[in-house]
Amino acid sequence: MGMAEALLIVDDEEKILKCIERMMIHTDLRILTARNAEEALDLIRNEDISVILSDNMMPGMKGIDLLSTAKSHAPDTIRILMTGQADLPTAIDAINKGEVFRFVTKPWDNEELEQTIQEGIERHRIIGKLKRADEASLLSIGQAIELKDPYTRGHSKRVAAYSLLLAERAGMSAEVQRKIKHGSWLHDCGKIGISEAILNKQGPLTEEEFEIVKNHPAWGAEVARQAQMPQTIVNIILYHHEHFDGHGYPSRITGYQIPKEARIVAVADVFDAITTDRPYRKGLSLSDGLEEMKSNMRGTVLDPDLLDAFHSLAKVITNYEASDSNGIGCT
């Protein structure tokens, strides 16, 4: 890598700039500071910045407006807003509109702030990698995300293998199949935004934790969109947890409103999830997994026709049981 990644901190209070700068000094980030929006925009135009962390209440242009302006000048820069409690609704609105990546409320918790900045840096790095990626690096990006969650080792590759069987059976073109393969590798890439404490939790998640996990399709799709990936791939990432009956997430769309590529990957994803061990339960055998899907998910969670097609491939699939399950080729 070339020059160090840059973090720009914007706040009208000198002592806050100093304090955050001191807090981040141990990282190898290049730290820039600005005391108002004009200074910040000047830096944004002239420097390659990975993350901007901006206060909201400043004389002159507010932080939120600075970040929207920054978005048009440097769309790949990750934007984080610092706000007081009073601005919370504004901050949440900004997140929903995709104007900012996260917000941090003042007074902040050092550990949480640093974590948020690091996640912003990581996200910026992944967008950059996706933009330049050849096929081998797409797979390694998918695998790097699995490292955060050891229980999903090999998940992306297996999901790709199952999805491809189904895509081929469904008569999809070679070009679409290629995108389905890449989308399968990356379908969980939004998990970079979720803490390891949640991903590795021994036992079922609390409601709050599950709400956080539920953000991964939207976060991942946003990364893929920013990296200008093809729509088929964005659709897979965004819609792989939608259910055929509309009870999935995040959009709760139903049936054929869910793009076919996402319905295909959903079958593959569920199958791999129930047939591998998780921290708090053992995985089913491949044939029991197929049975479980047929009796409990046909037409509710999963597209019935695709599920039937998957079932008719059972011979090919259960043959994998005999071989090393990590050894499924996916080319």
| Interface with Fe ion (CB under 5 A) | 188, 269
Contacting residues for 36 by C-beta, under 8 A, at least 6 apart: 10, 12, 58, 59, 60, 61
Q: Cβ 275 to Fe ion, closest distance in Å?
A: 13
CB of 324 to Fe ion, least distance (A): 20
Token code pair at residue 231: 């729509």
Residue 44 in contact with residue 8, Cβ under 8 Å?
yes
Residue 331 Cβ, how far from Fe ion at the closest point, in Å?
20
Torsion angle, CA of 162/125/57/37, rounded to 10 degrees?
-140
- DSSP SS3 for 225: helix
Residue number with CB closer to Fe ion (105 or 195): 195
Closest CB to Fe ion among residues 5, 188? 188
Residue 331, Cβ density class (10 Å: 0-12 exposed, 13-18 middle, ≥19 buried): exposed
d(CA 178, CA 232): 10
Residue 91 or 145: the one with the smaller Cβ distance to Fe ion is 145
Question: Are residues 117 and 109 in contact, defined by beta-carbon separation less than 8 angstroms?
Answer: no
Instruction: Give the nearest distance from C-beta 288 to Fe ion in angstroms.
Output: 19
CB closer to Fe ion, 106 vs 201:
201
The DSSP letter of residue 148 is T
> How far apart are the C-alpha atoms of 54 and 45, rounded to whole Å?
16
**Nearest approach, Cβ of residue 184 and Fe ion (Å):** 9
Q: Rank residues 87 and 269 by Cβ distance to Fe ion and give the closer one.
A: 269
Nearer to Fe ion, 108 or 249 (CB): 249
Q: How far is the CB of 295 from Fe ion (least distance, A)?
A: 22
First-to-last alpha carbon distance for the chain, in angstroms, is 29
